[in-house]
Structure 1
Amino acid sequence: MPLIIDDARPAPLMRHLAAIAYDTMLLAACWIGVGFLFIILNKGEAITGGALHYLLQAALLAAWLAFYIYFWTQQGQTLGMRAWRLAVADENGRPLTTALALKRWCCALITCAPAGIGLWWRYLDVDGCTLYDRLSRTRLYLLPTNPYPSAKKRKRHV
C-alpha cells in the first residue's frame, strides 16, 4: 500500500463507527466458524467447562486478533474499512507492521473497554485521533477514492 497521507484526511466518527459495526458482523461469522469446529471436536455436545472451554476462549481471541492483524498489515483496511473508504497507517502514512498492528489492537482493546473512552477521546484530541491511535502512533484516514477499483471499472484484456 502506498503512502496515503498526501490525499487523505482524518476519518469522521460516523464512518469509523460504521466500519466497526461492519467488521463486528464479519468477526461474528468467524467466531461462529470457530465455535462450530469446537462443537465437532466435542462430538456435537455443548462445551460447558473444562480445558476445551478455555481452549475455545483462546481460539476466539486468536481469531479476533488474527482478523485485524491480517487486514491491517496486508491491505491497510479491514473489509468494513474498505466499504467506508477508510485506511489505517502509521503516523507517516506507511503500512502497519505486524508489531505496530498488534500494538494498535491491544491499545484499542484496553482503552475502549471502559465505555469506549478510547474512541470518544477524539473529541479532546487536537488532531481528532482516538486514544489508541495516539498510543500506538497510528492514524485512521478517509480516502478520497477507493484504492481497489470495482470490476466494472477494470479494463478487460481481450
Structure 2
Amino acid sequence: MTNSTASTATPPQFATLKRRLLCMVYEAVLLFGIFFCAGLIFDVSTQKLDPTIAHNARQAYLFIVVGIYFTYFWGRKGQTLAMQTWRIQLVSANRKPLTLKQTWLRYCACWMWFVPAWVVNYAFGIQHWGSIIVLLVGMAAWALTIKLDKNGQFLHDKWAGTELITIPKTRQQIEFE
C-alpha cells in the first residue's frame, strides 16, 4: 500500500517581503567587505590613472565583481550566504536548473531598486538628504511590485524567470530551538 501524501509534491512556500528585505540588509553588510576588498585591489593597481577615468572604471569594475559574486552563488546553489541564513533560495520558475543567463539577467534587473532614484537625482540635481529620500521612495515603490504577481515575486524575478522560495527548517534546526 502506498501513501498518497508522500507521493504528492508540496508546492513551494514563497519568501515573504519581510524575509526578503531582512535578507537584503544582511546582504548589504556582507557586500561591504566585498566592496572594500575589491575597491582596495582596484585602487592600488590604478593609482596612476586620471581620477575621472579611474572613478568610472572603478564603478564598472565593482559592478562586475558584485555581479560575479551573485551569479556564482545563485548558479551554484541558488543561495548567497545571506540567503542561506534567512533560508531563502532562488529557483527557476519552471523548476529547471538556473541558467547563467537567468542569473545575470536577474542581477542586472535587481539594479532597478536604485536606477529610478539615480535618474531622478541626476535630472533634478537633488543632493544630500533629498537624494536619500528619493532613493527610499523608489525602493518602497519597487518593493510594491511584489503585489503585481500572484506568487509574490518581484518584477525582476518575473523578467528573469526566477522565484524566491523559503526553505523549510531542517530537523536539526527545529531540535536546536
How high is the TM-score relative to the length of structure 1? 0.78
> What is the match of residue 69 of structure 1?
71
Per-residue CA distance 1:96-147 (angstroms, 9 max, x = gap): 111010111122213653312333211232221111111211100001135x
Q: Secondary structure at the match of 2:63?
A: helix
Aligned length: 144
Select the residue among 108, 126, 151 that pairs with 1:127.
Answer: 151
How far apart in 1 are the matches of 2:104 and 2:153?
18
1:136 aligned onto 2:160: yes
> What is the match of residue 19 of structure 2?
15
CA RMSD of aligned residues (A): 2.7
> What is the match of residue 156 of structure 1?
none
> What is the match of residue 92 of structure 1?
94
Q: Secondary structure at the match of 2:51?
A: coil
1:111–1:53 distance in 2 versus 1, CA, 3 Å: closer
Query: How many percent identity over aligned positions?
Result: 27
Q: Which has the higher helix share?
A: 2
Select the residue among 39, 45, 66 that pairs with 1:41.
Answer: 45
The answer to whether the 8 Å contact 1:90/1:139 transfers is yes
Task: State the one-letter code of the partner of 1:103.
Answer: L
1:28–1:48 distance in 2 versus 1, CA, 3 Å: farther
Which runs of 5 or more structure 1 residues have no equivalent in the other structure? 154-158
Task: State the one-letter code of the partner of 2:151.
Answer: D
1:39–1:135 distance in 2 versus 1, CA, 3 Å: closer
Q: Secondary structure at the match of 2:64?
A: helix
How far apart in 2 are the matches of 1:48 and 1:25?
30
How far apart in 1 are the matches of 2:10 and 2:115?
33
Instruction: State the structure with more CA Rg.
Output: 2
Task: State the one-letter code of the partner of 2:20.
Answer: H
